[in-house]
């Protein structure tokens, strides 16, 4: 997880390592990482398929993998994100709040975020489809995030719908709330 801090947002908006660790510990099923083998981390490396959560699958140890992108979320309740709902994890929440979508600078504008988001939305739908009476989580109704104006197109491209300007203030620029509705 400490690799994630290097990929984060501008300093005024970046999550601290403490917050990232809290979010991944609280909701490990909601973390998605995109990894490359360290010897393959070159600018012309082919982009791998994003791996859900555990980078240890297969015979590659996590210490030989480099994180090139990730998505981290927690659960919240309700139709909209607020400063308060984004500050904690509600295990019985029915909405996924995406806090961070980050891609290493060297790998940006090559479709990594788009591929991670598509895989992530399918992963959430699979979680919903596989839920049964013994599952502790509630069915997930929607995925919410806040984005700056210039990244609205990125999220709209994978199916998010713009709700409008968010009440959340974090850093100098306004945030826009977007939603993706899951089948439940
Ligand atoms: C934003 C971010 C996640 C995008 O990752 P990425 O892998 O480069 O995104 P993609 O290659 O999948 O981009 C797909 C499309 O989204 C749009 N897009 C992505 N990044 C953009 C940017 N910085 N400015 C404007 N449009 C952007 C473009 O339309 C792009 O298509 P194009 O490259 O053909 O023009 C990455 O720049 C990043 O990690 N930034 C730092 C953290 C951050 O700001 N996260 C999002 C906050 S809302």
Extents of the domains making up the chain: 2-181
Please tell me if the CB atom of residue 83 comes closer than 6 angstroms to any atom of ligand 1.
no
Using the structure block, give the residue that is written with the tokens 């500050």. Answer: 87
- Note the Cα 116 to chain centre separation in Å: 8
Using the structure block, give the residue that is written with the tokens 């979320």. Answer: 73
Identify the residue whose C-alpha is closest to ligand 1 atom 46: 101
pLDDT at 56: 43
CB 160 within 8 A of CB 145: yes
Question: Judging by DSSP bridges, how do beta strands 51-52 and 176-181 pair with one another?
Answer: unpaired
Top mutation candidate among 113, 153, 170 for ligand 1, by most atoms within 8 Å of CB: 113
Please tell me if the CB atom of residue 174 comes closer than 6 angstroms to any atom of ligand 1.
no
Query: Which of 115, 102, 138, 93 is closest to 8 using CA atoms?
Result: 102
pLDDT at 57: 46
66-4-53 Cα angle (round to 5): 70
Top-tier CATH class for 2-181: alpha beta
Alpha-carbon span 159 to 94, nearest angstrom: 19
SS3 165: strand
Please tell me if the CB atom of residue 118 comes closer than 6 angstroms to any atom of ligand 1.
no
| CA 131 – ligand 1 centroid, Å | 32
pLDDT at 156: 98
pLDDT at 119: 96
Please list, residue by residue across 33-46, b when 16 or more beta carbons sit within 10 angstroms of its beta carbon and e when fewer do: bbbbeeeeeeeebe
pLDDT at 103: 94
pLDDT at 142: 97
Q: What is the DSSP-derived secondary structure letter of residue 134?
A: T
Give the dihedral sign, CA 66/149/114/52.
Answer: positive
Per-residue pLDDT of the chain (184 residues; tens, 9 = 90+): 555 555 666 666 667 777 878 888 888 899 999 988 876 666 565 566 665 554 544 455 556 788 899 999 999 999 999 999 999 899 999 999 999 999 999 899 999 999 999 999 999 999 999 887 677 788 999 999 999 999 999 999 999 999 999 999 988 999 999 999 999 8
Q: Which residues contact 165 (CB under 8 A, 6 or more apart)?
A: 174, 175, 176, 177
pLDDT at 51: 56
């Amino acid at each position: 997880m400490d690799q994630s801090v290097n990929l984060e947002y501008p300093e005024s908006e970046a999550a601290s390592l403490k917050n990232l660790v809290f979010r991944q510990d609280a909701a490990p099923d909601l973390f998605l990482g995109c990894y490359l083998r360290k010897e393959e981390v070159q600018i012309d490396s082919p982009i791998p398929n994003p791996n859900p959560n555990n980078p240890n699958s297969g015979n590659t140890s996590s210490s030989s993998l480099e994180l090139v992108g990730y998505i981290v979320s927690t659960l919240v309740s309700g139709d909209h994100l607020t400063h308060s709902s984004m500050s904690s994890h509600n295990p019985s929440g029915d909405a996924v709040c995406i806090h961070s979508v980050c891609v290493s600078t060297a790998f940006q504008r090559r479709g990594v975020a788009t591929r991670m988001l598509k895989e992530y939305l399918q992963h959430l739908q699979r979680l919903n489809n596989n839920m049964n009476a013994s599952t502790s989580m509630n069915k997930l109704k929607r995925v919410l995030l806040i984005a700056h104006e210039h990244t609205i197109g990125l999220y709209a491209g994978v199916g998010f719908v713009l709700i409008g300007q968010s009440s959340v203030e974090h850093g100098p620029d306004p945030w826009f709330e977007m939603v993706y509705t899951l089948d439940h």
